[in-house]
Chain A
Amino acid sequence: MPIAFITGITGQDGSYLTELLLAKGYTVHGSVRRTSSLDRSRLHHLYTNPEIYSQRLFLHYADLDDVTNLRRLLLKVAPDEIYHLAGQSHVGLSFEIPESTCDDTAMGTLRILEILRDLPGKPHFFHAASSEIFGSPDSYPQNESTPFRPVSPYGCAKAFAANMVRVYRDSFGMHATNGIMYNHESPRRGENFVTQKVCQAAAAIKLGLQSKLRMGDTSAERDWGDARDFVHAMWLSMQRDVADDYIIATGITHKVQDIVEIAFDYVNLDWKNFIESDPRFMRPADPKMLVGDASHAQKALGWKPTITFQKMIQEMTQASLNQLSSKSRANKNPVQD
């Protein structure tokens, strides 16, 4: 039974990947940071299942800036595959906390690569790179040989990590792969990402819990895919004999405005009555025309996206409706703690 190790297991991708790997018969180990609030909602259903947790799913305390602990953990777990998904993943926030973003995302990746050099087994290594490494690209769609041109601290850190993965692959022959992932969303997307923010607001407004939604630039365009499709690509890339870089994208762009219209349409509201423009949500430098050409992944991995943008946004809005209505019911119940 293969053993996988996941950093960032409590995140959107980590939780979907865990489900995928468990379904394929893996034993899954994940690293989690210690916090005073036990917030592992995305893993809750697995964590509370006694047939899974401590049987085939194990969580370990670790932090990307604690190299001795990581080393000890990886030596003990001796994984066949490592999926490195952890990082401060919010682009806008990386302008507020650039140093810690770089420390996690850039240095954290390097620390794991260094440990891998010394591991006796030669695990396959997946690095979750990002379309933000292209930032303001000279050409589109982008492919695996498009030059990097990051425009945020987050993009700079991811570009560093992706370059390092290439260096370690070329220099030490490591099976280290970059998945250059374009935006990918799902009902488990973090609440401060624009897709989730819009879907939750549409649901909250529908339920009378919110009156307005303040937005930055709604003409910004991105290539948005579904996280469940993307974690499948991660796994496929680890099954190949050779390590490589892959663009993981849908190849189709949508405007933020499209999210607004689909989500509000879904709850039968006219978005024009609820959206207000707020410059605080504008980024200091916004990437232009990020759209990925995933033909290499399609050819080499047989991967292609299966969930459409519209279906994904509708599903996210529905999930928000379900969540908010059960929450507001619970709030009316005095015995709820």
Chain B
Amino acid sequence: MTKKALITGVTGQDGSYLTELLVEKGYEVHGIIRRASTFNTGRLDPLYASPQDTNKQLHLHYGDLSDGSGLSRLIAEIQPDEVYNLGAQSHVRVSFDAPEYTADVDGTGTIRLLEAIRQAGIQPRFYQASSSEMYGKVLEIPQTETTPFYPRSPYACAKVFSYWAVVNYRESYGMHASNGILFNHESPRRGETFVTRKITRAVAHIKAGLQKKLYLGNIDAKRDWGYAKEYVEAMWLMLQQPTSDDYVVATNETHSVREFLEIAFGHVGLNYEDFVEIDPRYYRPAEVDILIGDYTKAKEKLGWEPKVRFADLTRLMVEADVKLLHDHQAGNIKVRS
């Protein structure tokens, strides 16, 4: 029988890659999308069939992690075999501006979803998108599944809350619920306000003569950056295990934003120092200095390992943004609003 998956955050970077992976594996995929007056399904365009298509594998439903009864209804109707909770206000800096909303969606939203599953009386496998930001002011380098958390933003506090909620529902109700502690993962589909994508878009625009300066916050922050397309595979693998568990998904390398700038600008023959200016508006009130994840457990238990490393990832993103801009200019592509 066809397996059914339900994805929150289906319209995001990870949601769209995960949808592609699951569709390829023959799943019927259900995604929850928020209503917006502008289209927010751009990343799913290649997969999204018209509502009249009867053989479609992808179904989108209106819903919201802040709407508990809507979630209950959807879970009961769809009866999914696997639930991937990727929906969130996912921008750390923004979480300082909108902390209550962030905590409601990223924290309480997870409880609403877990409760909806309990109520429906079904036993789907559950994946929670946990985050390396939970380690915050890190207590150990590199970070593993046993490193204690020290969250430094409302976003991170909410993610820690959800992490424990998942562990708690696993231990209290025997749910097959897993946390994937994903370190930064990027791709050409990364949101435009995240630093990597902000840089690669700027590189394309500067190279084309459409932009002169790039304003950034703390460029000495160090992160463990991997390729999102590979990370969604780790999510799926976690739900195929006989027992649920928590896994770090990372590259075990750490690089500064500065290194990203060097490679990105260097790839189009430019020097970042000629274009980058520091704007303290982009500083976080409390910074996370260094993140580096040890993925030994994921390698041993899931057989998962990252292939695309930092330099290749940077170049791949630059090339995608150069091509995207070129296509725009040639009128080959709709502008995504």
Please give, as numbers and ranges, the residues of chain A lying within 8 Å of B149 by CB-CB distance.
147-148, 163
A107 near B172: Cβ-Cβ < 8 Å = no
Q: Is A111 an interface residue when CB atoms closer than 8 A count as contact? A: yes
Known: A147-B148, A171-B285. A106 touches B160 (CB 8 A): no
Binds B, one of A31-39, A94-102, A120-128, A183-191: A94-102
Q: Are A160 and B107 in contact, with the CB atoms below 8 A? A: yes
Q: How far is the CB of A89 from chain B (nearest CB, A)?
A: 18
Interface string of B50-72 (1 = CB under 8 A from A): 00000000000000000010000
Name the residue in A147, A148, A156, A171 with the highest tally of chain B Cβ atoms < 10 Å from its Cβ.
A156
- Given A95-B172, A148-B149, A285-B168, CB of A153 within 8 Å of CB of B111: yes
A315-B149 Cα distance, complex, nearest whole Å: 41
Interface contact A150-B108, CB-CB below 8 Å: no
| Residue in B96, B107, B108, B173 whose CB lies within 8 Å of A171 | B96
Residues of B within 8 A of A170 (CB): 152, 285-286
Helix, strand, loop or mixed for chain B's interface? helix
User: Closest A-chain residue to B171, C-beta based?
Assistant: A285
Within 8 A of B (CB), among A57-107: 67, 95, 98-99, 102-103, 106-107
A153 and B160 contacting across the interface, CB-CB below 8 Å: no
In contact, B112 and A167 (Cβ under 8 angstroms): no
Given A114-B100, A164-B154, A171-B286, answer yes or no on A284-B172 (Cβ-Cβ < 8 Å): yes
On whether the beta carbons of A103 and B286 are closer than 8 Å, the reply is no
Quick check: B112 and A99 within 8 Å, CB to CB?
yes
Number of residues from A at the complex interface, CB < 8 A: 32
Quick check: B160 and A159 within 8 Å, CB to CB? yes
Q: Which residue of A lies closest to B147 (CB)?
A: A147
**CB nearest to A98 among chain B residues:** B111
CB–CB A163/B148 < 8 A: no
- Residues of chain B with a CB closer than 8 A to A155's CB: 164, 168
Which residues of B have CB within 8 Å of A163? 149, 151, 156-157, 160-161
Is A27 engaged at the interface, CB distance under 8 Å to the other chain? Answer: no
Q: Are B99 and A102 in contact (CB under 8 A)?
A: no
Residue B153 lies at the interface, judged by CB distance under 8 Å to chain A: yes
Chain B residues with CB below 8 A from A95, complex form = 172
Does the CB pair A167–B173 fall under 8 Å? no
> What is the CA–CA distance of A82 and B172 in the complex, to the nearest angstrom?
35
Binding site for A on B (CB under 8 A): 68, 96, 99-100, 103-104, 107-108, 111-112, 115, 139, 148-149, 151-154, 156-158, 160-161, 164-165, 167-168, 171-173, 284-286
10 contacts between A and B (CB under 8 A): A99-B68, A107-B100, A107-B107, A148-B160, A152-B172, A159-B164, A160-B107, A167-B153, A167-B154, A171-B285
Which 6 A/B pairs are nearest by Cβ-Cβ distance?
A147-B148, A171-B285, A284-B172, A160-B161, A171-B286, A163-B157
Q: Which residues of A contact B (CB under 8 A)?
A: 67, 95, 98-99, 102-103, 106-107, 110-111, 113-114, 147-153, 155-157, 159-160, 163-164, 167, 170-172, 284-285
Given known contacts A107-B104, A285-B171, what 7 new A-B pairs fall within 8 Å (CB)? Answer: A99-B68, A148-B164, A156-B164, A163-B160, A163-B161, A164-B154, A284-B172
